[in-house]
Amino acid sequence: MAALSIRQAHKSFGPTAAVHDFSLDVGDGEFVTLLGPSGCGKSTLLRLIAGLETLSSGEILLQERAIHDLAPSQRNIAMVFQSYALYPHKTVAENIAFPLLMQAPLPLRIPGLRRLVPGCGALGRHMTEKVASVAHMLQIAHLLARKPAQLSGGQRQRVALARAMVREPQLFLMDEPLSNLDAKLRTSTRAEIVDLHRRLGATFIYVTHDQTEAMTMSDRIVLMHEGQIQQIGTPLELYENPKNLFVAEFIGQPKINLLPLQFADGMQILADQIVRGLPSQIDGMPLPSHNILVGLRPEAFTLCDPGEPGALNGSIHLVEALGNETHVRLMLRTTEIIVRVPAASARGLKAGQPLAIRPNWNSALAFEESGQRVKADALRAAA
């Protein structure tokens, strides 16, 4: 059974279709990330799930129960915002307890009444224990008496997480929760959220435009563009088997290289160079006879002898040594590509020098000029 099902969701703001024909099933306990460039509709989709926006059409089901007409408070969903949205005048303990307090009977919410109404003492103690246990889990128990202004960004983020956890929701929604943290803290908090997900066993929907976050944290990624799904898959599926150029270019750092492959007068021309020794198959299909774009990741090249069959010859534009590996920007006539070279092989490489490389054709991807992956049908049609 899917924990969350979104069926043909559509949301327009006037003429803008922020989310268009969006369908997704999320499994119980799964960590799914909505990834895409700014404005692709990620936050709108999260807000639709939370009930902060209403659908123009479609359905949202939580544990097979339609929730899209329910108020946010009735959905048993917790959302962690980019801004943390903590109450500045309340202590950390009061911030964390707030969702429990909102669910509690009225007398418990009014301090003077608590002692007078039977049962309130026990409920209050239960709330205090719950807050303490969540704070302990997130290692912020020593901060319970402080106000948000007295916390670091990372601590505020944990308080926001604790406040989301305290109600034990069926679903956690997180909207770019790490974007206000510095790079080092982002890396460690990333690992903490993954660990928290594992320990809670809850379903997480996470929004980010940062592919490293998406790749390292998610069971599956939903890559969006202009309100629509481009591809759904595991991080490796998206990297190794992108459906189209948008996915291939969005996933991967440095970006995939795109080399035009043309056929003219019986010659094979790759990135404006006549090449010999092309394989009979590219991307699992016979070599086409129409022009295509060949996608090669920066690691899909080997340094070689300039005269070797299949060699591409270029001139080094820039050498970026990262320690364990080096990124070489290589100019092949009119196309600049990035080649990932092991540090040991890159010693002595300098800008301005000639360099020859051989593509590893086993990992090459073939794209039509329209951006779609070359398919067997397209080859037959073009033949």
Residues interacting with ligand ATP, by CB under 6 A?
Answer: 13, 16, 18, 36, 38-44, 209
Asked whether 292 and 366 are in contact (CB, 8 A), the reply is yes
Q: 3-state class of 164 per DSSP?
A: helix
Minimum CB separation from ligand ATP for residue 52, in Å? 10
**Residue (36 or 252) nearer to ligand ATP, CB:** 36
What is the Cα–Cα distance from 115 to 94, expressed in whole angstroms?
A: 18
Minimum CB separation from ligand ATP for residue 176, in Å? 7
**Residue (140 or 229) nearer to ligand ATP, CB:** 229
Minimum CB separation from ligand ATP for residue 316, in Å? 36
**Residue (76 or 82) nearer to ligand ATP, CB:** 82
**Residue (51 or 298) nearer to ligand ATP, CB:** 51
**Residue (40 or 247) nearer to ligand ATP, CB:** 40
**Residue (41 or 298) nearer to ligand ATP, CB:** 41
**Residue (32 or 378) nearer to ligand ATP, CB:** 32
Minimum CB separation from ligand ATP for residue 56, in Å? 12
**Residue (13 or 87) nearer to ligand ATP, CB:** 13
Minimum CB separation from ligand ATP for residue 9, in Å? 12
Q: What is the 3-state secondary structure (H, E, C) of the chain?
A: CEEEEEEEEEEEECCEEEEEEEEEEEECCCEEEEECCCCCCHHHHHHHHHCCCCCCEEEEEECCEECCCCCHHHCCEEEECCCCCCCCCCCHHHHHHHHHHHHCCHHHHCHHHCCCCCCHHHHHHHHHHHHHHHHHHCCCHHHCCCCHHHCCHHHHHHHHHHHHHCCCCCEEEEECCCCCCCHHHHHHHHHHHHHHHHHHCCEEEEEECCHHHHHHHCCEEEEEECCEEEEEECHHHHHHCCCEHHHHHHCCCCCCEEEEEEEECCEEEECCEECCCCCCEECCEECCCCCEEEEECCCCEEECCCCCCCCEEEEEEEEEECCCEEEEEEEECCEEEEEEEEHHHHCCCCCCCEEEEEECHHHCEEECCCCEECCHHHHHHHC
Minimum CB separation from ligand ATP for residue 157, in Å? 18
Minimum CB separation from ligand ATP for residue 224, in Å? 7
Per DSSP, the chain holds a count of helices (H) and strands (E) of 11, 22
Minimum CB separation from ligand ATP for residue 85, in Å? 15
**Residue (124 or 177) nearer to ligand ATP, CB:** 177
Minimum CB separation from ligand ATP for residue 206, in Å? 12
